A and B are shown apart, each in its own frame.
Chain A
Amino acid sequence: MITDATLTKEGLAPSGKGRVLLIACGALAREILAIKEANSLDHLDLQCLPAILHNHPERIVPAVQDAVAKHSHTYDRLFVVYADCGTGGQLQAACAEMGVEMIAGPHCYSFFEGNAAFAAQDEMTAFYLTDFLVRQFDAFVWEPLGLSKHPQLRDMYFGNYEKLVYQAQTDDPALTAKAQDCAERLGLAFERRFTGYGDLAPALRGLT
């Protein structure tokens, strides 16, 4: 069984089975596999790039371009399961140039809630975590921001935020407790919001 740490640092190699290859963020691996299984989407194969690219948006476009170049001749269709993810529209432009489709939305927080609903909420002072990011909070937030060594930096990073919104893809009391602990560590109010898979599920079901 693949671990979160592996998904964070290495990603996931494709199985080679299926006509359609999903090139996705490692942070979405479990959710994509769950949707695939629940809907018997056996024609979909999954390759995940290391989830930690989330912290380095400037590396996402070249990594996706490399994956597309590598697999474009071995699958009937490629679909990129990254939203814009802080690339400033460059991922969309690169996908258009390569003739590859991608999921809509500014980031996964948005498509998990549903892009329309997320845009309507206008929650400027919310800091979001998904199931994966709660499990990997230390690897994605605490350590890269240097907060274990320099806790005094916390308010420089999070002083303008008001609450942590845990967007739950699954019902898991242990994960909810961990998310609440994350909020306390960041000095933020806590809100749990069950989103399920949002726009991700219909986007994958629509791939023929």
Chain B
Amino acid sequence: MSDQDDDIILSELNDEDLVAQMFDDLYDGMKEEIEDGVNILLERGWPPYRILTEALVGGMTIVGHDFRDGILFVPEVLLAANAMKGGMFILKPLLAETGAPRVGKMVIGTVKGDIHDIGKNLVGMMMEGAGFEVVDLGINNSVESYLGALETEQPDILGMSALLTTTMPYMKVVIDTLIEKGMRDDYVVLVGGAPLNEEFGKAIGADAYCRDAAVAVETAKTFMARKHNQGAPAA
């Protein structure tokens, strides 16, 4: 996508063209260019939340769709994610200062016995991009680790990830413990990972299986909207 981009000077582009160029740069995993683009938009007075949603999340959504459709593969998605991370690093403190809307809060982690975190990290980043506050517990999380974080952080959503057939059953251990302690209905539980499927998600008592980061974001938003509607006074 960027073969002809060598001579493009980002600061000379109007807002619309700059955002379009940032979509291309995200797609091509060009971290420095994304950081430059974010800084230029900030200098032009764009609110951080607008840059996040329109330039970064907009671009990553295209990446997500092309990954789903088999046009992009894991290395390209990781490069794009790394570029987005560069932009997020600039925006994150500003988002907190400017009181950007918070859609909800999620605690996320890879289950016990599993060290794989690429998918989890992508989900965390896309959830942040969608306005969720994300507490990342990292890898190899025991029941105690999840429960401790749920009590401390009081999130709306618990996300669990596993890449191995041998570790994915641990998700049920966590959910069963939540049930035992009477905490299950306090949280939306989303699960994901390469060997999982919808049937497994249902069987272990999760609220939903999410096949990729984009689906995780949409699913989380749907549950949050449902929660808000339930809390709204009857008309």
Whether a CB of chain A sits under 8 angstroms from the CB of B118 is: yes
Given contacts A57-B195, A153-B79, A160-B117, contact A88 B200 (CB under 8 A): yes
Residues of B within 8 A of A106 (CB): 164-166
Tell me if B's interface is mostly helix, strand, loop or mixed.
Answer: loop
For B169, the closest partner residue in chain A by CB is A89
Task: Kindly list the 7 A-B residue pairs having the minimum CB-CB distance in the complex, ordered from nearest.
Answer: A146-B75, A88-B195, A160-B115, A84-B165, A106-B166, A86-B195, A88-B165
Flag if A160 contacts B200 (CB, 8 Å). Answer: no
Flag if A125 contacts B195 (CB, 8 Å). Answer: no
For A153, the closest partner residue in chain B by CB is B78
A interface residues, tally (CB under 8 Å): 23
Whether a CB of chain A sits under 8 angstroms from the CB of B196 is: yes
Whether a CB of chain A sits under 8 angstroms from the CB of B168 is: yes
Whether a CB of chain A sits under 8 angstroms from the CB of B116 is: yes
Whether a CB of chain A sits under 8 angstroms from the CB of B73 is: yes
Flag if A156 contacts B118 (CB, 8 Å). Answer: yes
Flag if B118 contacts A86 (CB, 8 Å). Answer: no
The answer for the CA separation of A147 and B139 in the assembled complex, in Å, is: 23
The answer for the CA separation of A125 and B73 in the assembled complex, in Å, is: 25
Whether a CB of chain B sits under 8 angstroms from the CB of A70 is: no
Residues of A within 8 A of B139 (CB): 160
Q: List 21 A-B contacts (CB under 8 A).
A: A57-B195, A84-B165, A86-B164, A86-B194, A88-B195, A88-B200, A89-B195, A89-B200, A90-B197, A106-B165, A124-B113, A124-B115, A125-B115, A145-B75, A146-B74, A150-B75, A153-B75, A153-B79, A156-B82, A160-B115, A160-B116
B interface residues, tally (CB under 8 Å): 26
Residues of A within 8 A of B114 (CB): 124
Whether a CB of chain B sits under 8 angstroms from the CB of A161 is: yes
Flag if A57 contacts B75 (CB, 8 Å). Answer: no
Q: Residue among A122, A144, A150 with the most chain B CB within 10 A?
A: A150
Whether a CB of chain A sits under 8 angstroms from the CB of B207 is: no
Flag if A88 contacts B197 (CB, 8 Å). Answer: yes
Residues of B21-76 at the interface with A, using a CB-CB cut-off of 8 Å, are 29, 73-76
Whether a CB of chain B sits under 8 angstroms from the CB of A87 is: yes
The answer for the CA separation of A89 and B164 in the assembled complex, in Å, is: 11
Residues of A within 8 A of B75 (CB): 145-147, 149-150, 153
Residues of B174-229 at the interface with A, using a CB-CB cut-off of 8 Å, are 194-197, 200
Whether a CB of chain A sits under 8 angstroms from the CB of B142 is: no
For B81, the closest partner residue in chain A by CB is A156
The answer for the CA separation of A186 and B82 in the assembled complex, in Å, is: 20
Residue interface mask A144-184, B partner, CB < 8 A = 1: 11110110010011001100000000000000000000000
Beyond A106-B165, A150-B29, list 6 extra A-B contacts (CB 8 Å).
Answer: A88-B168, A89-B165, A90-B197, A106-B166, A156-B82, A160-B117
Flag if A145 contacts B74 (CB, 8 Å). Answer: yes
Flag if A156 contacts B78 (CB, 8 Å). Answer: yes
Instruction: Determine how close the nearest CB of chain B comes to the CB of A189; give it in whole angstroms.
Output: 15
Residues of B within 8 A of A90 (CB): 197
The answer for the CA separation of A50 and B19 in the assembled complex, in Å, is: 43
The answer for the CA separation of A44 and B197 in the assembled complex, in Å, is: 35
Residues of B within 8 A of A145 (CB): 74-75
Residues of B within 8 A of A147 (CB): 75
* The residue from B79, B113, B116, B194 contacting A57, defined by CB atoms under 8 A apart: B194
